[in-house]
Amino acid sequence: MKLNPSGTHRCLYGHSWIFDNEFKKPDDLDPGAEVDVADARGRFIGRGYFNPASKIAIRLFTRSSRATLTTDFFMKRIVQARDARKSFLPEDEPRRIVFSEGDRLPGVVADMYGSAIVVQILTLGMDLRRERIVEALMSVYAPDAIYERSDVTSRSREGLPERKGDLIGSIPERIELSTDGVRFAVHPKTGHKTGCYLDQRFNRRRFAEFAAGGRVLDAFAYQGLFGVYAGCAGASEVLAIESSDEACRELKDNADLNGRPVELMRANVFDTLKLLESEGRRFDLISLDPPSFTKSIGASSNAKRGYKEINLRAMRLLSEHGILFTSSCSFHTDRESFIDSLSEAACDSRRIMQLIELRSASPDHPVRMEVPETDYLKCAVLQARE
Ligand code: SAH
């Protein structure tokens, strides 16, 4: 299969996506089939899998002309992903063990919680090879259970229904875990994503370094892990804001597991930040970790307004020298426009704000320089100055 002539294709620089208008669709290729991809002059680029129903019609999984999606191939990639993480994370702690394009297994995500693995299969090409993926995960990690959480709307873009259920063994409803000495529980069958936002782990750890003795606000708290990390690091008080009942129950459970009280407001962050300001409450450390405001590029100006609004409110709540950890997990909002929203928020807040750090997802969610879409999580650390 040859790409249309059109300048220099991103895949020559290591990207793995080929859109449906970038080549002539062959008639004889089955949905999900493997395909060799060459540039317009016929030079081999790599091998991918094909889905005529998807806008991303081919995803490359290798640059080798010999590799195919066998169980051995999946094992090789899973071992490469495991070995790359050894420098950053102890092997027995909860972590993402496969991150799709970030680990050159496009369409497969897997998280390890104790002796259980939760997988998400996001594309047709990988859906058809579920058994091999499971076999490979079993060979490398020998978990007690593998559970599938492919209940994600993005599967419809691949022509696939949502699905969830046990693939190996029977996963518990609740699994107790710890990271960095902080205890928490995940509910793999019902929680967000696979049960937990592991991507914020290093940011929570850094957050906790500023917490001792301070008043802490954890907004968009979900299971409360920013707040609980801060509580364990000696915060004098922790207030969490979260709108979902179920998340609030999990949050309370996590606060109890660590014996750290958290004041909990089940409320809308947008309204509550205003209210806290009018009540004169101030915080030394704030986390703002909203859900993705943009599901599509079309909505990105709304997203920008949303980010600006909450950040402006949060900046006004900072004490003198207070620190704000502000995150955006939408890959449609790139770093530049996120920083733009923060600059506008800083101007309007009438606070002097210093940018201290720009952070990313934890390294078990590899950001590949050649694939900008893997850089979805931005976390800026700002300090209020006199
Ligand atoms: N900070 C969390 C992850 C947050 S995910 C962590 O470290 O794990 C975003 C959370 O915001 C979800 O739990 C969602 O229920 C909550 N949420 C979404 N919109 C909200 C709103 N307007 N007000 C309060 N909470 C909201």
Reading the chain (386 residues) residue by residue, the pLDDT tens digits are: 999 987 778 888 889 999 999 999 888 999 999 999 999 999 999 999 999 999 999 999 999 999 999 999 999 999 999 999 999 998 889 999 999 999 999 999 999 999 999 999 999 999 999 999 999 999 999 999 999 999 999 999 999 999 999 999 999 999 999 999 999 999 999 999 999 999 999 999 999 999 999 999 999 999 999 999 999 999 999 999 999 999 999 999 999 999 999 999 999 999 999 999 999 999 999 999 999 876 655 567 778 888 999 999 999 999 999 999 999 998 888 999 999 999 999 999 999 999 999 999 999 999 999 999 999 999 999 999 98
Provide the pLDDT for residue 26.
85
Positive or negative torsion for Cα 346, 349, 354, 356:
negative
Pocket of ligand 1 (CB under 6 A): 197, 200, 220-223, 225-226, 241-244, 247, 268-270, 289, 291
Task: Tell me if 216 sits within 8 A of 209, measured CB to CB.
Answer: no
Which pTM was predicted?
Answer: 0.96
Positive or negative torsion for Cα 103, 15, 158, 375:
positive
Provide the pLDDT for residue 91.
85
Provide the pLDDT for residue 386.
87
What is the residue type of 79?
V
Task: Tell me if 314 sits within 8 A of 275, measured CB to CB.
Answer: no
43 vs 312: CA distance, rounded Å: 52
CA of 379 to the centre of ligand 1 (A): 15
**In 3-state terms, what secondary structure has residue 77?**
helix
Nearest CA residue ID for atom 12, ligand 1: 222
Nearest CA residue ID for atom 22, ligand 1: 268
Provide the pLDDT for residue 363.
97
Kindly give the number of the ligand 1 atom that is closest to the alpha carbon of 223. Answer: 8
> Active-site residues: which are they?
329
Name the residue of 198, 242, 302 whose CB sits within 8 Å of the most ligand 1 atoms, as the mutation to test its pocket.
Answer: 242
Provide the pLDDT for residue 119.
98
Tokens representing 117 are 């693995």
Provide the pLDDT for residue 331.
81
Provide the pLDDT for residue 297.
55
Nearest CA residue ID for atom 23, ligand 1: 268
Kindly give the number of the ligand 1 atom that is closest to the alpha carbon of 289. Answer: 1
194 vs 319: CA distance, rounded Å: 36
Tokens representing 13 are 């620089």
109 vs 122: CA distance, rounded Å: 8
49 vs 37: CA distance, rounded Å: 10
Residue of 271, 72, 99 whose CA lies nearest to 199: 99
Name the residue of 222, 228, 229, 324 whose CB sits within 8 Å of the most ligand 1 atoms, as the mutation to test its pocket.
Answer: 222
Q: How far is CA 309 from CA 11, 128, 269, 345, in A?
A: 38, 44, 11, 7
